[in-house]
Amino acid sequence: MTAPTRSVIVTGAGTGIGRATARALLAAGFCVTLAGRRSAPLEEAAATGDDGTRHADALVVPCDVTDAAEVDALVAAHVERFGRLDVLVNNAGVPGPIADVGELRPDDWAAVVAVNLTGAVLCAGAAFRQMAAQHPSGGRIIDNGSISAQSPRPRSVAYTTTKHAIAGLTKSIELDGRPYGISCTQLDVGNARTELLDGFVGEGALQADGRRVVEPTMDVAIVAGLIVQLASLPSEVSVPQLTATAAGMPFIGRG
């Protein structure tokens, strides 16, 4: 008997890791809702070819993850189209300002927290409620933590603090989801080649000793492949934390 097709929501699906992940999931046979702020990049990510035709198993839902009503509507639209929600790739995020805590402006801090932390909590909460209520219950949430959840880059206090908070969110979901068959993974990625990475390391990344160093990078498709593997795991398997970095980058021993 063939296993039923799994369905996935990917937030931040218009660019970077989210885009690569959504396309890899569609190629692997998943039904995918692509969510993000702007329709045009989402439609491009959901296209099957140069003519712009949307993949038959793709749904595009523009969504501001900082708005609870829009997040609830995103999950409702996904379930209406695909029947249930098996996986949330909780990926939407912003890099925030280059600043230490003394330089950080309150409005910049609030903007980063709104997307990277509040947005992640809102998306996880809406997915959790759906996964707990559906029959059979259960599902998997994959939180994009970043290796900054473990060790910061210099002058990245807003981004680093929100990503450290993702560790607590992931562990809480993993614990509270047990009665419903919901598991949660914190995926910490280092130096996958994306537009976001270019802002950090394009001319050489700032190191703790003040030098700028051109760091190794890895193809974002590798990260997307890891997420496809996580999404494909049977429900009896939990992967609470996974770290993947470009080989040789200065992460172990950072600082």
Q: Which residues are the active-site residues?
A: 159
Sign of CA dihedral 254, 121, 36, 220: positive
Contact (CB, 8 A) for 166 and 120: yes
Average pLDDT, the chain: 93
Helix, strand, or coil (residue 213) = strand
CATH number at residue 54: 3.40.50.720
Residue 253 located in a structural domain: no
Residue 28 located in a structural domain: yes
What is the tens place of the pLDDT at every residue in 109-121? 999 999 999 999 9
Residue 148 located in a structural domain: yes
How far is residue 24's CA from residue 26's CA, in Å, rounded to a whole number? 5
Eight-class DSSP state of 52: -
What is the tens place of the pLDDT at every residue in 56-104? 999 999 999 999 999 999 999 999 999 999 999 999 999 999 999 999 9
How far is residue 194's CA from residue 59's CA, in Å, rounded to a whole number? 23
Nearest to 131 by CA among 66, 186, 87, 169: 87
Band the pLDDT of 50: cuts 50, 70, 90: confident
Residue 196 located in a structural domain: yes
Q: Dihedrals φ, ψ of 213, to 5°?
A: -130, 130
- Helix or strand holding residue 243 (H, E): strand 241-245
- Helix or strand holding residue 20 (H, E): helix 16-27
Residue 196 has pLDDT above 70, yes or no: no
**Number of domains composing the chain:** 1
Residue 27 located in a structural domain: yes
Which domain, by its residues, includes 190?
Answer: 7-245
Contact (CB, 8 A) for 111 and 72: no
**pTM of the model as a whole:** 0.94
Residue 87 located in a structural domain: yes
Cis before residue 136, ω within 30 degrees of 0? yes
Residue 2 located in a structural domain: no
Residue 206: per-residue pLDDT: 84
* More confident call, 96 vs 195: 96
Eight-class DSSP state of 202: T
Residue 82: per-residue pLDDT: 98
Q: Where are the alpha helices (DSSP H) in 56-206?
A: 68-82, 106-112, 120-133, 157-176, 195-201
Residue 123 located in a structural domain: yes
What is the tens place of the pLDDT at every residue in 140-166? 999 999 999 998 889 999 999 999 999
